[in-house]
């Protein structure tokens, strides 16, 4: 099953009219990949193109439209690619197969149907609390710093993050920031809070430190009591591991 991490991207280039055992080759390849359990594949038809014969295939010329290029692409684990590649090599008698190393940053899949509501489960254990204090006006490149921090934490698979916007406060420089009816400060205090395992909090703090120019990072111990709905065995075990 395809998961986050190192993977292989396979791209196959062929002509739309290329046949394989009395059927279109691109259809045969897609059917083969589906039967072999590949996570997903996409076949796209190009608008125009040419290959080693240097003949431009285009829909503007009817006789050449049947030879338009087709591109099939899928991303899978190195083991699965190694499994299907020999058959693909044999099937593609006129075309090009390309394999590249890649990295899966996120692989999410919606459940085809809503899961039934199950009883709540109580999870308790030790964790770390991370709090980041900054100003609302602080930027990271072209976006608010607090927004960039939350995006970074999400990519790091941090359990969750919350951003709080203050109404009054001051920092190390002694400047008071206040919001009132007649005065709206553009640099109100902002706090980002995160709770996760000690290892993940340490990694998150290091990443945030590289983004923070003027602010404060605080890490403290926390006792977590979490109420969650019961999940399948694997997911429930993973949830419990987060608080150990």
Cα-Cα-Cα-Cα dihedral sign, residues 141, 143, 149, 153: negative
Do residues 57 and 48 make contact, with C-beta atoms less than 8 angstroms apart?
Answer: yes
Nearest to 133 by CA among 183, 179, 173: 173
Length of the chain: 244
Q: Which CATH number fits domain 120-241: 3.40.640.10, 2.40.50.100, 3.40.50.1000, 3.30.70.120?
A: 3.30.70.120
Q: What is d(CA 107, CA 3) in angstroms, rounded to the nearest whole number?
A: 6
pTM as predicted: 0.57
> What is the pLDDT tens value at each position of the chain, 244 positions in all?
788 899 999 999 998 888 998 899 999 999 999 999 999 999 998 777 666 666 665 655 544 445 678 999 999 999 999 999 999 999 998 889 999 999 998 877 776 666 666 666 767 888 999 999 998 889 998 899 999 999 999 989 898 899 998 887 665 554 554 554 444 456 688 999 999 999 999 999 999 999 998 889 999 999 888 777 655 444 444 444 544 4
Identify the CATH class of 5-104.
Answer: alpha beta
238 φ, ψ (degrees, to nearest 5):
-65, -40
In eight-state DSSP terms, residue 156 is: T
Residue boundaries of the structural domains of the chain: 5-104, 120-241
Nearest to 200 by CA among 163, 154, 231, 240: 154
């Amino acid at each position: 099953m395809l998961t986050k991490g190192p993977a292989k991207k396979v791209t196959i280039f062929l002509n739309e009219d290329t046949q394989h055992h009395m059927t279109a080759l691109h259809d045969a390849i897609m059917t083969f990949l589906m039967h072999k359990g590949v996570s997903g594949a996409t076949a796209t038809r190009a608008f125009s193109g040419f290959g080693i014969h240097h003949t431009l295939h285009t829909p503007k010329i009817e006789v050449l439209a049947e030879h338009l290029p087709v591109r099939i692409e899928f991303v899978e684990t190195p083991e699965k690619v190694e499994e299907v590649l020999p058959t693909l090599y044999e099937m593609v008698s006129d075309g090009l197969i390309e394999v590249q190393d890649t990295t899966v940053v996120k692989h999410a899949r919606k459940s085809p149907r809503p899961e039934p509501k199950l009883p709540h489960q109580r999870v308790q254990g030790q964790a770390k609390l991370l709090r980041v204090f900054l100003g609302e006006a602080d930027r990271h490149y072209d976006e608010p710093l607090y927004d960039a921090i939350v995006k970074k934490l999400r990519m790091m698979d941090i359990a969750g993050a919350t951003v709080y916007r203050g109404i009054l406060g001051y920092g190390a420089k002694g400047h008071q920031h206040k919001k009132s009816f007649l005065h709206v400060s553009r640099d109100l205090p902002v706090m980002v809070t995160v709770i996760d395992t000690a290892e993940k909090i340490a990694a998150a703090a290091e990443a945030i430190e590289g983004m923070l120019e003027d602010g404060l990072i605080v890490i403290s111990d926390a006792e977590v009591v979490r109420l969650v709905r019961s999940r399948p065995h694997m997911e429930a075990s993973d949830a419990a591991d987060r608080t150990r």
